[in-house]
Amino acid sequence: MTRIVAPLVFGVLLLAAWEIGVVIGEVPSYIMPRPSEIASALWANAGDLAAALAVTLQVTVAALALAAMSGALIAIGLSQSQLAERVFFPYAIFLQVTPIVTIAPFVIIWVENIFIVLLILAWMAAIFPVISNTLLGLKSVDQNLKDLFRLYGATRWQTVRRLMIPSALPYFLGGLRIAGGLALIGTVVAEMVAGTSGTRSGLASRLVEASYRLELAVALACFALLSAAGLGLYVVLDAVSRRLLRHWHESAAAT
């Protein structure tokens, strides 16, 4: 209970201090709106912002699912050959360290469908933690257990399916929790760079539009919704991880 109440109390106190500070300082709303003004803007634009958030989450969830599947398959492939790992893993690092904003203009030119553009860029942001964590888990299998499987005549695929994949599951789920936040960040950055607009624009695009119009209360409402979406995504992924691991892994059994 304390894990929920303590952050909520701190958040309420922080918002109260913000409200009082802006009122006492007589700060104009176009520079720093009060939390009450942000809440009013959120209420007044709830329909439009909810529709935009749905677009952003659609891309985020699709990119996360794609990153989870492709990242796990790539990690399994790399774990089977040291040569393959040495050849291809640096390119996974390349995807992680290259800023999305430098790649986005090329993807926008090469791909016509804006949803596919956003999906590609969000996938690029999210895939590396899945690959690196899963690969670490696959390579961390107890060598004695691998020798035991070999002694009993298990095939390579049986060893991977029955031993390596279950052992790597906690690592994969840890990478997935990180990838969830990165997928949302990638989607937000991609929407800003791509400059999407219209009824199918995402929440990041609405944030940029509002900031250009100096509607800072609306922009901060968009920011609050994106932050809440990121927190919600992490909570869901964490709950899934705990449910899958709670009966057999120490990381979930201890909490």
* pLDDT at residue 250, rounded to an integer: 62
Nearest residue to 162 (alpha-carbon basis) of 152, 171, 174, 173: 152
The yes-or-no verdict on residue 69 having pLDDT over 80 is yes
Return the SS3 of 111.
Answer: coil
Average confidence (pLDDT) over 219-242: 92
Do the Cβ atoms of 175 and 130 come closer than 8 Å?
yes
* Placement of tokens 């040569």 in the chain: 83
* pLDDT at residue 80, rounded to an integer: 87
Average confidence (pLDDT) over 169-191: 93
CA distance 115 to 122: 11
CA distance 255 to 210: 42
* pLDDT at residue 223, rounded to an integer: 93
Return the SS3 of 210.
Answer: helix
CA distance 52 to 199: 8
**Distance between the two ends of the chain, CA-based, in angstroms?**
13
Average confidence (pLDDT) over 127-139: 93
The yes-or-no verdict on residue 10 having pLDDT over 90 is no
Task: For domain 51-253, say whether CATH 1.10.3720.10 is its number.
Answer: yes
- Counting residues of the chain whose pLDDT is more than 70, the rounded percentage is 94
* pLDDT at residue 248, rounded to an integer: 65
Nearest residue to 128 (alpha-carbon basis) of 202, 194, 63, 62: 63
Q: Which residue has the higher pLDDT, 120 or 112?
A: 120
* Placement of tokens 């203009």 in the chain: 105
Q: What average pLDDT does the chain have?
A: 87
* pLDDT at residue 182, rounded to an integer: 94
Give pLDDT tens digits for 157-168.
888 888 888 889
* Placement of tokens 């539009």 in the chain: 209
CA distance 224 to 15: 12
Do the Cβ atoms of 130 and 67 come closer than 8 Å?
yes
Give pLDDT tens digits for 223-232.
999 999 999 9
Q: Where are the domains of the chain?
A: 51-253
Question: Residue 9 half-sphere exposure, CB side, CA atoms within 13 Å?
Answer: 6
- Counting residues of the chain whose pLDDT is more than 90, the rounded percentage is 42
The yes-or-no verdict on residue 234 having pLDDT over 90 is yes
* pLDDT at residue 142, rounded to an integer: 82
